[in-house]
């Protein structure tokens, strides 16, 4: 998408894939980030932390996600290795300790990518840790710290984040996962917004 701001007079909200530049960040269309404290165009600098190219881990965010102000994504290099007898990251300071620079990644445990599905809502100042996968339609509560995978259409909150409830019954969740309305053409989604907003799954299925 070439468009940065979804609303003409709102400079606090951006289409995220129009402002991120890192090769290890993938963001789907229509995903938005709102920031009333900082310039939202600086999302990559302010919100994606310890994300160094040497690790090769990625941030993958689907379509139509909503990310609130101050949400953070903490990557591998923030995880000091648990294999060591010390919390100190000796391999990072290879010059100081005359170590092999090629072993720098042994300073931390590589937990892997952070993956958000589609239509995910990440609340104010929530923290998503490396290696976590969040399913489609999930909601991450305000200031939650997510250390484990979140199933589709599940609301989680707390520190560490735990399931609060499912948004819908299992039959509805299966139907939404099968429909994958977020992958439809723009015109088809536009025709279906009323059905989506009013919770009319039957009408949405007719439009499929």
The answer to whether the beta carbons of residues 141 and 155 sit under 8 Å apart is yes
Question: Do residues 134 and 120 make contact, with C-beta atoms less than 8 angstroms apart?
Answer: yes
Give the helix/strand (H/E) hosting 96: helix 94-97
Question: Residue 66 forms beta bridges with which residues?
Answer: 32, 121
The DSSP secondary-structure symbol of 37 reads S
Token couple for 90: 């000796």
Query: 58, 60, 72, 80: which is the annotated catalytic residue?
Result: 80
What is the helix (H) or strand (E) element at residue 196, kind and residue range?
helix 186-197
Tell me, yes or no, if 80 is annotated catalytic. Answer: yes
Q: Please state the φ and ψ torsions of residue 65, each to the nearest 5 degrees.
A: -85, 155
Residues designated as active site: 80
């Amino acid at each position: 998408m070439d468009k940065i701001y979804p609303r003409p007079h709102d400079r606090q909200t951006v289409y995220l894939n129009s402002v991120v530049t890192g090769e290890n960040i993938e963001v789907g269309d229509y995903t938005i980030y709102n920031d009333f404290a900082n310039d939202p165009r600086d999302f990559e600098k302010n919100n994606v932390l310890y994300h160094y190219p040497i690790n090769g881990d990625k941030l993958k965010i689907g379509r139509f996600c909503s990310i609130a102000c101050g949400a953070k994504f903490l990557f591998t290099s923030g995880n000091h290795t648990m294999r060591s007898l010390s919390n100190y990251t000796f391999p990072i300071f290879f010059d100081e300790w005359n170590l092999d620079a090629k072993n720098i990644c042994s300073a931390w445990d590589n937990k892997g990518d952070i993956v958000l599905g589609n239509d995910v809502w990440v609340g104010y100042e929530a923290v998503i840790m490396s290696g976590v996968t969040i399913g489609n339609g999930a909601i991450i509560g305000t200031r939650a710290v997510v250390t484990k995978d979140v199933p589709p259409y599940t609301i989680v909150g707390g520190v560490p984040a735990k399931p609060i409830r499912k948004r819908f019954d299992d039959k509805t969740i299966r139907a939404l996962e099968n429909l994958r309305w977020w992958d439809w053409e723009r015109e088809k989604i536009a025709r279906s917004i009323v059905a989506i907003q009013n919770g009319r799954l039957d009408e949405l299925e007719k439009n499929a």
